[in-house]
Structures are given as structure tokens and as C-alpha cells.
Structure 1
Amino acid sequence: MKVNFFLIVILVLILSACTKNKEKVIPSEVTKETKMTNEVYSYFESGSNDGVMSVPENYREWDFLGAWAIDGDKGSKGIHNVYASPGAVSFYQKNKYFPDGCILVKELMNTHTEYLSTGLVSRANENEGWFVMVKDAKNRFPDNPLWGDGWGWSFFEAGKMYKTVSTDYKANCIACHVPAEKDDWIYVDGYPVLKLE
């Protein structure tokens, strides 16, 4: 009987230690291996329920949606690389809309242009900032000026991943997305991976 009691005490101590070491996942810690509800990472299930956005530190490990080349006088003056949080691409491929809580990160890079054996070539050079969008199908933050029209919207300057310079998505963000309003404000035609099934 003393042995059984002793084993029960040890099991309780082990289980309580395991429970204490569990931490909520924040967006900067999300990887493709992160356990997700229905295999789709959700910003709202990560402990980030206050509407404050940041640039996830490991976004380059996420699904790559595509890139945009910004025309310059000679070559490209910028390249925008776009990433989606784990599970968002496969969810979109099946359902034709982005899942609630998914995060899109657009990384803005300036370019270096030079003549190479293939001709005039522009390549990504240095980071100029990020745009971050979080899908919010439930309008969770109606009084927050960075949230509305189904998304959270923010711009972050280079080197400042945790403090947005955006103050109001209607004034700072949505104007560039008006041509894509019919596609939930996202230029889905620029991302061929979303068309795969």
C-alpha cells in the first residue's frame, strides 16, 4: 500500500511539472511543426488575443505564396516576398478563402541591379519593412483602428518587428487593396500556388 501511494505521488509530481512547462505559442514561435487546430495555425489560438500584431520572427520558414517585382527605371526597384502561416495555403486550395487567424507577411526588399551574362538582373538586397495581415472573420476588434474589413492590418519598418507605424488601416493600408476587394482584399491572382489542389 505504501508503494502504491508513493507511485501515485510521483505520478502527480511528474504531471504537474509537465503542465507547468507548457507555454502558449506566440506568432514568432510558429513553425510548420507547430500543433495547429485542424492543421491550420490561428493567431487567435496562440495567446495573441489582444489585437496587437508583430512580424513573426520565423516567417521565412512558412509557406511561400509568391513574389512581386516593383518596376524601376532600369531593372526592378523592389521585390516583395509574401509568406503565409502554416496550413493557410492548403486550406485556401481546398476552400477558396483564407482561414480565420491566418497570417500573411509581405517582406519588402530593395534591390541591387547589374548586368550579368543573362542581361540586366535585379536581386533582393536589404529589407525595407513588412506588411502583416491577420484574417479576422469574426470582427473581434471593432474599436481597434488597425482591424476591419475582415483583416488586421499593419506596416512595420525595417528593424522594428514589434512596433507598427500604422495607426488606421483605412488611412494607411486599404487603399492599395481596393482592386482586390472582390478576393477578400488579397491579390490572389499573383499567387499561383493558391490555384493548386
Structure 2
Amino acid sequence: MKPKYLTWLGGISALVLIATLSTFSEASDAKPGGDTFSTLVGPAGEISYPKDFPVGFVFIGTWAVAGGDGVSDLHSVYTRPQDLAAFRQSGKWPDGAVLVKEVSATLGAPHTTGKAFWASDTTTWFLMIKDTQGRFKSNPLWGDGWGWAQFDPKNTSRQIATDYKSDCQQCHLPVRANDWTYTYAYPALGALGQKAIPVGAMPALQSEDGRRVEHAPVMNVAGGIAAVTPAMTQVRAAQGKIAFEATCSSCHSVVVGENGVGPSLYGVIGRKAGSLEGYGFSPAMSASTVQWSRSTLERHLADPKNFIPGNRMGRFFAGVEEPAKRDDIISYLESLK
């Protein structure tokens, strides 16, 4: 069957957009809210969830996160009308701009357009408030030009983030040069939002049944998986370096003693999990008995959240889905001796 190409904001999530736009059409007609710093932020920088949301907000775009048989969750993003207007004019978020992201689980079923997915239960809320003045330097939820917050989906009066660097910012590292925001994913921002687009971005390739198409392993002429040769190992390591830089380098370095958001991965093969001196690991990682090898790294990269339950990386990184890409990254890490 001929594979079909679907954009996240088209085919596979068309139902999401139709439902969202119709549900919140009234928001676009709402009057802009008052001063952000008097309505959503307390004297010490305490951030509150907007009481009447979505009134006073407009939808600007949706992320569809791939997983399993299609889409594992949807991230729908909103801002205020005045913030949208300011960005479309200048290409920058104005002081006090508010971004709200709703993360939802999904349901899916075959439809006339193919297998489609739509939002079900809300799993969490995130909120960012632009701060060009550096108002709350002593508050751990403020920094790098923004206030950062996360809210309990069952009780939005409960703000659950404790430190923006560990709880929120990791997911934004790839766009730190773009004011920490993925503006290219929000069509409503217009042409000025089309910045920091990842190299090689393309429509998602899917088969007719809605499953992602993965690269097959290299085969020999007899039909079996080809034997690994030293030359192939070098090629995989070279490919792995490219994959590592695209996927891992925003959090990890490969320089001895140079830790970032995550620990340096130089010499990681053969090392006990959570044992690198000079880096503050999560309690779960420190308590783990896992020894890093090709096998354990493969399992960790495939499922960071569950291989070592409770580890910090699993909260922010979904993993490397393609087996060949995982293998290349591990080959690269193995070559660092």
C-alpha cells in the first residue's frame, strides 16, 4: 500500500483541531485580560491558574506525541489575544505574555480519513509567563525570562512545580535561542513564528493502518541480519554521533567532568547508574543497581520512564523510538574511551 503523509496539524489530528476550535471560538471574542502580574502572579511570584480559562485565551497550536500505535498524548497551547497580536507584529513575546499548555491522553479509532486520534482526559497543565524585568530572582519558578508553573489536573488551584530548571526547562532546551518557546509549532503566530525549525523536519510517514514506519535492519544477501564488522561499527558510531547531537546533546555532554542538565556520558559503558562523581542524580537513579551496558542502555533509551522508575530523565524525555537509532547512539557512546 502506498504510505500516506500526514502533518500533525492536519490528517491525524484533524478531529482535535475541529473540536478545539469550535469549543473555544468564544475565546477569540473575549476581551483581553488585565495585567498579568496583578491577576496571575502574587507578590512573591506565586503563579496561579487562570480562573476562567479558556475565556480570554485563544488556541495557537497542538503537538501530537507519537507512541505505540499512533499518538500517545496531545499538547494543546493557548495564549491571550493581546499576546498573540503582539507576537504577530514583532516576533517576540511581550512582557506579561501568558502561554498555557494542556496535556491530554488520547483515544483513537478508524475514521473515513484513516486512523484518527482525539483528546480524552487532561493529564497535566503547564503555564509560562514572560518576565522581561527579572522580577522574582529569589523564586525558583522564575528565570531565563519566564515564570514557569505546572498544575494538578484534578485541582488547578494546586501548583506542583518546585524548580523551573529541574521541573520545566529541560523540555525547552532545544529552543533556548528562541526565547525557550517552540514557536514554529503554533501556526496562529504567523510567519514570524517560523524560527528554530528542526533540521530535517518533514511530514510524518505512516502506513495505511496508522502505524509509524520504522527503518529495517541491514540485511545480507541470504536474507539474514548482516554480521557486524569493524567497518560497520565505525559507521554506526559516526551515525550515532549525529543522532546523539540531535537527540541528546541539549542535556548531556561527552566531555569528562562536563555535566549539564544530565551527567556527562563519556565512559558511561561499564559505569553503575547514578554513580558519576560531581553530578546530583535523582534518588531513584542513585539507588539503582543497574550497570550500564549495551543491553541496559538499549532498554533505558527505549523506555526512560519505566526502565528505572522515578528517574528524572523519564519525566522529560519520551525515549528513542527507532531501534536502529538507539543502536547507533549506543555505538557512539561505546566508542568514547
Counterparts of 1:7-46 in structure 2, within 5 Å, are: 32-34=30-32, 41-46=34-39
Describe the superposition over 1:129-174 as per-residue Cα deviations: whole angstroms up to 9, x where unpaired.
1000011110100000000000000111211212111100011111
Match of 1:180, SS state, is helix
- Give the structure 1 partner of residue 187 of structure 2: 192
Q: TM-score, normalised by structure 2?
A: 0.46
- Offset, 1:117: 2.5
- RMSD between aligned alpha carbons? 1.8
Describe the superposition over 1:67-119 as per-residue Cα deviations: whole angstroms up to 9, x where unpaired.
00011111211111100023001100111111111111000110001122222
Q: Which amino acid aligns with 1:106?
A: K
Q: Which amino acid aligns with 1:58?
A: D
1:95 has 2:99 as partner: no
Alpha carbons 1:55, 1:105 under 8 Å: kept: no
Match of 1:161, SS state, is strand
Counterparts of 1:1-197 in structure 2, within 5 Å, are: 32-34=30-32, 41-46=34-39, 48-50=41-43, 51-61=45-55, 62-195=57-190
Alpha carbons 2:108, 2:117 under 8 Å: kept: yes
Q: Which has the higher mean CA deviation after the structures are superposed, 44-53 or 180-189?
A: 44-53
Describe the superposition over 1:10-36 as per-residue Cα deviations: whole angstroms up to 9, x where unpaired.
xxxxxxxxxxxxxxxxxxxxx8324x6
Q: TM-score, normalised by structure 1?
A: 0.76
- Offset, 1:49: 4.0
CA pair 75-57 structure 1, distance change in 2 beyond 3 A: farther
> Whose strand proportion is higher, 1 or 2?
1
- Give the structure 2 partner of residue 20 of structure 1: none
Q: Distance in 2 between matches of 1:66 and 1:182?
A: 20
Q: Distance in 1 between matches of 2:169 and 2:40?
A: 26
Uncovered stretches (5+) of structure 2, i.e. residues with no partner: 1-28, 193-337
- Give the structure 2 partner of residue 13 of structure 1: none
CA pair 96-42 structure 1, distance change in 2 beyond 3 A: farther
Q: Distance in 2 between matches of 1:57 and 1:66?
A: 21
- Offset, 1:47: 7.3
- Offset, 1:54: 2.1
Alpha carbons 1:59, 1:83 under 8 Å: kept: no
Q: Distance in 1 between matches of 2:122 and 2:167?
A: 20
Q: Distance in 1 between matches of 2:167 and 2:74?
A: 20
- Offset, 1:196: 5.0
Q: Distance in 1 between matches of 2:134 and 2:88?
A: 24
Q: Distance in 2 between matches of 1:69 and 1:58?
A: 26
Q: Distance in 2 between matches of 1:85 and 1:121?
A: 29
Which gives a bigger RCO, structure 1 or 2 (Cα 8 Å, sep 6+)? 1
% of aligned pairs identical? 35
Q: Which amino acid aligns with 1:136?
A: D
Number of residues of Structure 1 aligned to a counterpart in Structure 2: 162
Q: Which has the higher mean CA deviation after the structures are superposed, 145-154 or 112-121?
A: 112-121
Match of 2:156, SS state, is coil
- Offset, 1:59: 2.9
